[in-house]
Structure 1
Amino acid sequence: MNTKNQYLKFLFSVVRRVYINLSKLFSRKYQKLNRNRFIKALFFATLLLCLSFGQVVSAQTPNATSLVKRGVEDYNAGKYRSAVKYWQSAIKEYKKNPSATAVVNENLGRAYQKLGEDKAAIESLSAAIRDYGAAKDIKQVGRMRTELAQVYSNLGQPRKAIALICGKIASQGVDSIECQQESAKQIATQYNDESGKVAALGVLGDAYRLIGNYDRAIKYLNEAKKAAPENYLVLNSLGNAYRNRAQLMDLQANSARQIRLSKKEKELNQKSEKDYNQARTYFQESIKFARQQKEDLAQMRGLLNLIQLASQTNKRKVVDDATFNNTLADALKQNKNLPDSATKVYGAIDLAYLQRNSQGSSPFIGCPNQLALPENQSLSLLQQSVLTSNNLQDNRLQSYANGALGHFWECRQDNQKALTYTQNAIVAADSNLSAKDSLYLWEWQAGRILDKQNKNKEAIESYQRAYETLEDIRQDILTAKRDVQFDFRDVVKPLYRTLAQSRLELLQTGATNNKERLNQLSKVVETIDSLKLAELQNYFGNDCILSALNPKQVDELLEDKENSAAFENTAFLSSIILDGKTGILLQSANQETKFKWIEDPNQEGTDKIVSTEKLEKKIAKFRRGLVRGREQLIYDTTTASELYDWIIRPFIKDGDISPETFKTLVFLQDGFLRSVPMAALYDRQQEKYLVETYAIATTPSLRITTPKSSRSKQKALILGLTKAATIDGKNFKELFAVDREVRAVKKQFPNYTDLIDDNFIPENFRQKLQKTTYPVVHIASHAQFGVIPEDTFIVTGNNKKITISELENSLQNLNSPSDSVELLALTACQTAVGDDRSTLGLAGVALQVGVKSAIASLWSVRDASTSKLVEEFYQNYGKEGMSIAQALQQAQIKMINAKKLPESEDMNIDYDNPVYWAPMIVIGNWL
């Protein structure tokens, strides 16, 4: 893992000289501080400076002076707990002297960080800010805000760090932003504190890097570099920022490739190459200046960053093999000679798990195949890291060191050794919650080891603890670092799926009673629901999607009497794709939760379970058949029938979803199942499509869906594009049927406002929403849902686009919550091919912007059929007592019966083919 930089080390050179001189009075040499934080190099500087000027020492407080001195001595000896006790006693002596308590609190905060007690550190640094304010030492208030900001940033809360340093957070980009008056950066500027300003810029830049705003991070770090051009800390962080931006552009290039934007892909690859090279240069400069200034810890961090850059870009050869080998040799030598420190521990772990060709994933999830070092050398490094962490008595370090060594033995299948070290890691991480961000890793690791020992129940308990810990910290790690440093698919998805699968497989043994079975199923539902919420949160990179999250779990919602009307006659089918097989959970307010694996009724024994691979191929074939349906005079229902028999018929057969009881089915789909419309599944026995029996809707989670029947038809905002357009080098064809579709919508909403073609541009759309409330917003245009949100947009006039972020901002900036859009309709959509994450854009767009319900198309149908379906839907939408799902159902049934309708209905007889009616789905509130 990358260790943290230490910006404040260079801040107060005069203070540091005072510290060195005064240290001799205490008969101790000045020791370099080794915690991986920005702030630790000035550890006692302010304290001893105050002593030298008499701010703390006075004739009236000789005992306090002694307490401070003994605390300094113990801290230098690594006895942090003892130092804390002395300084806590000193504060009591100085309680009427804010100048003194400020300095002691400041250094208490640093000691607590050494002990891994971050909450206490935050309290002490906050107290220091308060005391410095009371003493009118505003310059020091600014410095303490920077120091506190660094603590929050280290804890994975960079937004709090930004608030302390600047007062407000800027959106993506590099537009200037003025920091607020009492922020750390403004205080440093106001008091001409050049060193404090550089420190604030450094912490601010790194915090923006952690939230993924790399452009702004680079802007602030370049400001710091301008003031301190040879500062190795700034250079090191600039290297990290450029590397992260390059990795983001790699992700964007991959997205561009999947949606066939070859020109954009080439441009992004060229930009990422340039940024990688810039990162290499900054790391090399950081190493050079750290070496010149004999800063061994900083030199080690630079070496590690350069090695990791080489590993991550091996195919590009950003760092040639000779440089890689030389740098690795330097790092091994440097790490061996370092004093005991956090950098030494993390450096040993990084080197032990180093791969020449890294995929950027966590080394603790799977077993690395090609370590750069011989196995015995890696083992020696990991063993040394455990000894060093024990010497330092730092819980966080002990957690990572023991966990890393436990993983080494896990990969060598020595389960007993693996479990011993992993349990040590758990104990250390759980001590005062000193390493909660690693606790889930070691609990998960323990679960895997216990699984191998056939201790299934104990394994599930470990997985459950890992899940609960990850749930607590998920928001920070999914919304920060989502692009590069934290891979959702590496950690959250496999952990949640493993926990769910373990519970389900335990149920298969038949060793549980009915009550326990229902309890286990409830926990499975909770786990899978959390997974789907996490996917949305990770995809969009913020927590807006969860702003209206219901605190109740799904089971509680179904039992809640307030929701009885909403859930009446409605069944919920949640799919869950696991290792090798897929299951369906059935829930309703009227009966117990049921679970079934997807099986092939034509097979026997172990072959009966449909493998994940087989199901995915069948689903892909089903979708291809639907999309190409218009090429066939008669639609072939074979695949649709097979999927119906696999997914729906088992519940019909057992009477779980009889049409007499349930009128609506709401699907909560997983992975590749999101990209197909369940409405088109075919019951060959009844010779009916599923939608002919049930109204169909979909939602990512019931906890972010508001099932309420509130309908208003007063006003509609109608937006349409008929012309061809080019966005990011991709051509979008004319939509000839949009004129007819727009006319059909206008007919249903006489009180409308329309923006068509050149009038349909982002500025006009934004202005209309700001001036008037529109319960219905209908958009008839191309919409692309990409692998990443940046490639998710609606095509507008003049070759412009409305991105998902712009759409969100426009709809969320309405005058009041009551002005929220009831229904958002998106027709003529297109989705990216080959990545089920792209369909998160489709499922999440309505929820992301606060819309209650949405209807959208899973693929583009450039035909008059769309306008006919839309017209029929809105006619039904306005009928008393008809739900949104039923309104769409009736429109689809009418098209299915196209050949049976009289000519007066003006229905093309070909519209019975599901290619014309199946792609339209209801998302969110189905009532």
Structure 2
Amino acid sequence: MRQRRKARYYFILIMLLSSLTCLWWGNMPLLAQVPYAHQFVQQGIERYQAGDYNGAIAPWQRALILYQKAKNNQQEVAIVAENLARTYQQLGQSNQAIQYWEQAIAYYRPIDRQQTGRLLTEQAQSYSSMGQNRQAIALLCGAVQSNQECLPQTAVSIARSHKDLLGEAAAWGSLGEAYRIRGDYLQAIDYLQHSLKIATEIASFQLHISALNSLGNTYSNLAQVSDRASKSAERLGESEQANQLRQQVVSHTTKAVEFFQNSLKVAQQQNDRVNQTRAYINLIPLYYQQENFIAAAQANQQALVLWQQLPDNRNKIYTAIDLAKRQQSSTNSPLECLNVGVQPNAIALLKQATSIAQKTQDNRALSFVVGELGHIYECRKDYTQALKLTQQARWAAEQDKDSLYLWEWQTGRIYQAQNQKPAAISAYEKAITTIETIRDEILTANRDLQFDFRDTVEPIYRDLITLKLNDVPPSVLLSATDANTKNLTSVLTTADSLKLAELQNYFGDDCALTVVNPQGVDIGSIDRNTVIFSSLVLDERTAIIASFPNGDKKVTWLDKDSESLRKEINEFRLGLESFFDDYNPQPAQKVYDWLIRPFTAELEQAQIDTLVFIQDGILRSVPMAALHDGEKFLIQKYAVATTPGLSLTELKASNPQNLRALALGLTERVEIDGQEFAPLPYVQQEIGEVQEHLKGSTPLLNEEFNRTRLQQELSSNTYPIIHIATHGVFGTVPENTFLVTGNQEKLTITELDRLIRSTTKSTEPIELLTLTACQTAIGDDRAALGLAGVAVQAGAKSALASLWSIEDAATAQVAAQFYESLKESRMSKAQALQTAQLSLIEQGGIYTHPAYWAPFILIGNWL
């Protein structure tokens, strides 16, 4: 899958290709000491140069065994290991490539630092191709801040110390790619410009082209970011911001076009057909975005002509797939169908590519090209041919699970279209099982997936959920022994897996999810007074499932499409945040009628006192405590909590006698990256309340609240609670999810997680992370996803956080009452928060408005 995704092309160090022929042109008397080894090497070289990468592996592996058995042949071992590493990388088998890089680097490290640096760069590319960008960055430059020098013994430092400009250009370029894939686009541009400058100076055309392509891809990514943000702003009625963001889209797209055009020009000068073809393919969608349809058609035609002239190898096959999908202006989704008029051209192109894959015995490439053909026949509703081709793709992909799940999904869709429901369910379940085995790779591999996750992974889960839910009778309380209850349990297990996938995709390769309940949870054995509400937002309607402690379940449907639901939930949230307006409870009553009222009789009969919500989509962005039944708020009847998923929630009550906190706070006005954050004068009082109710707590205020002091305290003391009273922002991507420190720096949630996990003295997760004065954007369910996962990602059993910033005097009161109830009354965390919110409501006056108490939500373990 990685190999066919748009804008995912890595630096290939062609300057090191000479290593492939080193043994052939080497010292023949030396080779003669190892009979037949040089013949195997020669066979591998010939097959590799012919594009037969699979065929090159076996003779090289034979040669490697012979050299390893012989004495004094370590150099030959290293060179063959290099060749095998590059070959496995060409085949997309990065794990095997890395193992061979390790062998080669171990040989060169003590005797040839320049070669070591170059191989470190290639090894880093292998890590990047698997989405392990932290490892790639560590090899290339070290885990350092952007304003620091690269660490010694990294590829960049080695190249610079040896004045190896070729190696330095390659290392900077690979570093830029790693940051681009990570989603840090501005840092990527800086490093790629370094690479471009050096490559230009030394006239390394391959590296020059690679840097230009990577810069084009980076600006194309930035255009995608701005486009998504502009659409979000438009939905919220922020027309001025939407216009500014649309201007950014135009600017970034223009720069991307310029870089790809420059890449094309250099490739034409060098008569490099491969990179000319790639440049044209990259330009086609950008020309369409600019509404330059003539240029797009010309680029497409030029690419088709050049494609016919390429050598028959894997690159030609994947290029054909890209070209087939470029036969019209928009092919963003794997489900999108080509227009009928261009389908014959795409089919002809893919059939040629199929022949090449069969001739070169490249099963991985064959699975993608045949699978794409199957999709076109699926669109044509020729399901017999579609299924035949899709099954061929599945057989070819048996060893490559990152493509196998696509064809299992496609099989499920084809069966579903033919109303063969059991076969469709079986295929979807196989697809999800495959995804579960490669979760780390496909969900963190590339930040591009954060744009197309909803197109490439999420629909599989939701389609299976829909298929299974359709057979469950609605609005009926189903006993624990009912067959439909088992079906609902299966649906909830699938939904829980989806939540894990969403969080892992959101946090990327920094994700540190730990599944603590892999076999599920029997709530009744833990908490007899709690009901779990699970929402599932589907395209045309939303399911609400209540799971009772005795095992009974009930599902109801909200017949409202997802976009209408989004608009009404945003209206509800806007009303909650309107501090200075008289509160209108009608939106809250409407949502109550949707989510809670259908279950009131069962809740009363079971004597429930706590409701825990596992929310989906836009419903994550609003607090359930503020729902209103016409007489009371929900919090006045029930304690309320939320969790991203039961499999991630450690359900164990804390010992109130051991509670103490590391309390960090910011009272002063600060400015970070041009964004102003107002002073929080009541934070000092809030920190004082923490110290009063949790004896033995340690305060760090203002300048003392920084990474160094935080690390020192966590290293030397055990704190069950970390209380942070400062501005926090939850954004669409984790880089925009951060806390403001006292020394005017951003502390991201992933950085906080690394600090906690690497320095804390206790082996147990911290009990509670409290974040006050945080804020998530209205209508941004992806930002709300970051908040939903904050406890998990920060290595805490629970988190208490706010959905929007409020008057910090009210925050101080809520915090004080919460900790007092938790410590003195031995309440559950959910009940302690309920008590704190009720105490504010009961004060009357402005505090009856939910704007002051509703934003506080408890996430994770509610006990």
* TM-score bucket (shorter structure): 0.7 to 0.9
- CA–CA separation in structure 2 for the residues paired with 1:883 and 1:206: 47
Counterpart amino acid of residue 447 in structure 1: G
Contact kept in structure 2, 1:659 and 1:693, CA below 8 Å = no
CA distance in 2, matches of 1:187, 1:738: 48
Bigger mean CA offset, 149-158 vs 137-146? 137-146
Contact (CA 8 Å) 1:822, 1:852: kept in 2 or not? yes
Higher mean alpha-carbon deviation, 689-698 vs 137-146, is at: 137-146
Is the 2:635–2:834 Cα contact (8 Å) retained in structure 1? yes
Give 1:772-783 correspondences, 5 Å limit.
775-780=720-725, 782-783=727-728
Q: Are 2:150 and 1:177 equivalent residues in the alignment?
A: yes
2:215 corresponds to 1:242 = yes
> Which has the larger displacement, 386-395 or 240-249?
240-249
Deviation for aligned residue 1:451: 0.6
Query: Residue 437 of structure 2 corresponds to which residue in structure 1?
Result: 472
Which residue does 1:853 correspond to in 2? 798
Among candidates 643, 648, 651, match of residue 596 of structure 2: 648
Equivalences for residues 869-884 of structure 1 within 5 A? 869-884=814-829
The 3-state SS of whatever aligns with 2:665 is: strand
Aligned to 1:383: 351
Q: CA RMSD in A?
A: 4.2
User: What is the correspondence of 1:407-446 to structure 2 with a 5 Å cutoff?
Assistant: 407-430=375-398, 432-433=399-400, 436-446=401-411
Give 1:800 shift. 7.1
Aligned equivalent of 1:699, options 631, 643, 651: 643
Q: Mapping of 1:521-536 within 5 angstroms?
A: 521-536=488-503
Map 1:273-288 to 2 at 5 A: 276-288=253-265
Partner of 1:37: none
Residue identity opposite 1:397 in structure 2: A
Is 1:294 matched up with 2:271? Answer: yes
Alignment equivalent of 1:47, drawn from 12, 15, 23 = 23
For 2:625, the equivalent position in structure 1 comes to 679
Give 1:401 shift.
Answer: 0.8
**1:459 positional shift:** 1.3
Q: Give, in whole Å, the separation in 2 of the partners of 1:346 and 1:739.
A: 60
Question: Compared with structure 1, are the counterparts of its residues 80 and 224 closer, same or farther at alpha carbon in structure 2 (3 Å cutoff)?
Answer: closer
How many Å separate the matches in 2 of 1:422 and 1:84?
28
Query: How far does the alpha carbon of each residue in 1:811-869 deviate from its partner, in whole angstroms, 9 at most, with x for none?
Result: 55644246975444344444312222222243333433234333233344438655544
Residue 719 of structure 2 is aligned to residue 719 of structure 1? no
Secondary structure of the equivalent of 2:827? coil
Distance 1:667 1:427 in 2: 41
CA offset digits 1:423-446 (Å, max 9, x no partner): 21111111x32xx32222222122
Q: How does 1:558-577 map to 2 (within 5 A)?
A: 558=522, 564-565=525-526, 567-577=527-537
Is the Cα–Cα contact under 8 Å of residues 11 and 210 in structure 2 kept in the other structure?
A: no
Change (3 A) 1:671 1:64: closer
Contact 1:429 1:438 in 2 (8 A): yes
1:336 maps onto 2:308 in alignment? yes
Look up the equivalent residue of 2:651 and give its one-letter code.
Answer: P
How far apart, CA to CA, are the structure 1 residues paired with 2:172 and 2:29? 29
Alpha-carbon deviations, 1:69-118, whole Å to 9, x = none? 45555555666665544444444544203344444444445555666665
Distance 1:690 1:6 in 2: 53
CA distance in 2, matches of 1:82, 1:781: 59
The residue aligned with 1:579 is 539
Q: Secondary structure at the match of 1:488?
A: helix
Question: Contact 1:581–1:598 (CA<8 Å) still a contact in 2?
Answer: yes
Please give the per-residue CA displacement for 1:608-631, whole angstroms capped at 9, x wherever unaligned: x45545654554454444444874
Percent sequence identity is 40
Partner of residue 31 from structure 2, selected from 57, 62, 71:
57
1:494-533 CA-to-partner distances (Å, cap 9, x unmatched) read: 22211222222245699x9968645543332222112222
Question: Counterpart of 1:837?
Answer: 782
Please point out which of 11, 21, 35 is paired with 2:15.
11
Contact kept in structure 2, 1:91 and 1:101, CA below 8 Å: yes
Task: Report how far residue 214 of structure 1 moved.
Answer: 3.7
Aligned AA (2:20):
F
Distance 1:809 1:868 in 2: 31
> Do the aligned residues in 2 keep the contact of 1:91 with 1:104 (CA within 8 Å)?
yes
1:346 aligns with 2:318: yes
Query: For this pair of structures, how many residues does the alignment match?
Result: 844
* Cα deviation 1:12-37 (Å, max 9, x = unaligned): 5xxxxxxxxxxxxxxxxxxxxxxxxx
When residues 69 and 78 of structure 1 are mapped into structure 2, their CA distance, relative to the original with a 3 A threshold, is: same
Following the alignment from structure 1 to structure 2, what is the Cα–Cα distance between the partners of residues 352 and 571?
51
CA 1:629 to 1:594, structure 2 compared with 1: closer, same or farther past 3 Å?
A: farther
Pick which of 415-424 and 191-200 moved more: 191-200
User: Radius of gyration: which is bigger?
Assistant: 1
Q: Report if aligned partners of 1:831, 1:858 keep a CA contact under 8 Å in 2.
A: yes
Structure 1 674/110 Cα, relative in aligned 2: closer, same or farther at 3 Å?
A: closer
C-alpha change, 1:461 and 1:657, in structure 2 (3 Å) is: farther
Measured against aligned partners, the alpha-carbon deviations of 1:765-796 in whole angstroms (never above 9, x if no partner) come to 74885676655554555544333344444567
Question: Map of 1:202-601 to 2, 5 A cutoff?
Answer: 202-229=173-200, 230-250=203-223, 251=225, 255=229, 258=233, 276-311=253-288, 313-314=289-290, 320-354=292-326, 357-358=329-330, 361-362=332-333, 364-368=334-338, 374-430=342-398, 432-433=399-400, 436-483=401-448, 487-507=452-472, 517-546=484-513, 549-553=514-518, 555-558=519-522, 564-565=525-526, 567-587=527-547, 590-592=549-551, 594-598=553-557
1:242-277 Cα shifts (integer Å, max 9, x gaps)? 234434544258648849999998887777766544
The equivalent of 1:29 in structure 2 is none
TM-score (norm 2): 0.84
Which secondary structure does the structure 2 equivalent of 1:367 belong to?
A: coil
The change in CA–CA distance for 1:48 and 1:455 in structure 2 (over 3 A counts) is same
- Whether contact under 8 Å (2:338, 2:376) holds in the other structure is no
CA distance in 2, matches of 1:137, 1:830: 52
Q: Distance in 2 between matches of 1:8 and 1:233?
A: 9
SS in 2 for 1:533: helix
- 1:32 alignment counterpart: none
For residues 812 and 285 of structure 1, what CA distance do their matches in structure 2 show?
Answer: 46
Corresponding residue for residue 892 of structure 1: 837
One-letter identity of the residue aligned with 1:529: D
Specify the code of the residue in structure 2 equivalent to 1:354.
R
Residue type of the alignment partner of 1:696:
V
Change (3 A) 1:412 1:177: same
Please state whether the residue corresponding to 1:598 is helix, strand or coil.
strand
